[in-house]
Structure 1
């Protein structure tokens, strides 16, 4: 979608677009309310600034829509499709990595009470597993900050995958 099209969408369809980036309603509303942006850079800069207020409650709400790493996202919506694309490298994971990822996901959920979140795009299965195992040693505050950062990275990648300044 061209930035000019995004800037002129009615609010409801604009919210649908932004919700795919991160299902954080106050953030979605603020990004939509900030239009028009005129450029992808201005949009991304504003979206980034707005992610800095994310906290544990924000993270927990957003993660209700995220699949576990190594599990296929259910549904046929844009968010599920984005998750499947981002986690595509998990199809190449060996049995050992899959087993360790599943065990790590369970341990993470027991420890932190939420699904493990990592920016999967551009990472190999082993890199994601290494991150999971490393982050299991985090304290609650450190892990919340890291997970919020990962959610912000995912949101910005999805923004850049969706909005362009190129005419199609």
Structure 2
């Protein structure tokens, strides 16, 4: 499958909104935001999210298939405590798995960016998101032993994982 990876822009605000709502509906424990609250955001908020694709010390990239459909995304920003932080990870169900290579391609691009920002890449993943945890472990992330409280129902903890770059 041929995919294009590119940074998002403010002009992409409608696609960013649609993809974000799809992400939340697919895996509600992954984004610390409800679909209802995402739907309530104004165009100004969505355009601001699009600016993250162009801002210094951050990145938001999207995977687009040959039909123009947005099939995945990953973001990163420099956190004052952790350095480069991976957030907003999503791959559409129909293109998940190693045979499609979407997640791996997105992560490679984020890691390339993160190398310019620090020596490790950190993430937090909900303890009940076994699929994501397995992917991160396959990609070399290791649980640090740190956890964070997940703020929305069903609550629980997020596991902090880190990968040397």
TM-score, normalised with respect to structure 1: 0.28
Between Structure 1 and Structure 2, the one with more strand by share is: 2
- Higher RCO (CA < 8 A, seq sep 6+): 1
TM-score, normalised with respect to structure 2: 0.29
